[in-house]
Amino acid sequence: MATWTHLALHVINVEHSMRFYHDYCGLEPCMRRRDGSGVVWLTEGGQAERGGLLLVLIPGGQGQLHSAEDYSHLGFALASKAAVDEVAERGRSEGCLLWEPREEPWPVGYYCGLRDPDGYAVEFSHGQPGLGELSSPWTEA
């Protein structure tokens, strides 16, 4: 059985992307390749040994262009609707708000979306089910 360990994104500027994912998502670097490639691993709390999913940033990306109908994204849960609104307001003021806050039926909940420095969509939600809340092996939403 495979275990999901990471998601890797090509980015234009690793430092800009690290700052975005730290400031908005609380991700911190836990490892940087020593071979000069500039590849960085990020995780919650900067502690990879906690077993969380890693976000790997690889320099040399070209940026992402998405159509309005493209809902490809990275998803992050927040503690409240107010927290979603705060992220949206900050994103609006910094020019990276993609989706205004909105409420959708379960399992989507309340969410907004931002564009990271490379154009990747990042969703911030409240009220979406976590893995422990989904029945196994399959849940119809």
Per-residue pLDDT tens digits for 26-64: 999 999 988 989 999 999 876 666 567 899 999 998 988
| pTM summary value | 0.88
**Residue ranges in the chain modelled with pLDDT below 50:** none
Task: Indicate whether 67 belongs to any domain.
Answer: no
State the DSSP code for 119. Answer: S
Structural domain span for residue 53: 6-59
92: left (phi over 0), alpha (psi -120 to 50) or beta: alpha
Residue where a domain terminates, one of 36, 59, 82 = 59
Neighbours of 27 (CB within 10 A): 24
- Please report which residue ranges of 6-52 form alpha helices under DSSP H: 14-25
Residues 100 and 123 in one domain: yes
Residues 15 and 51 in one domain: yes
Residue where a domain terminates, one of 32, 59, 86 = 59
Q: How many CA atoms lie within 13 A of 63 on its CB side?
A: 6
Task: Indicate whether 65 belongs to any domain.
Answer: no
Residues 11 and 38 in one domain: yes
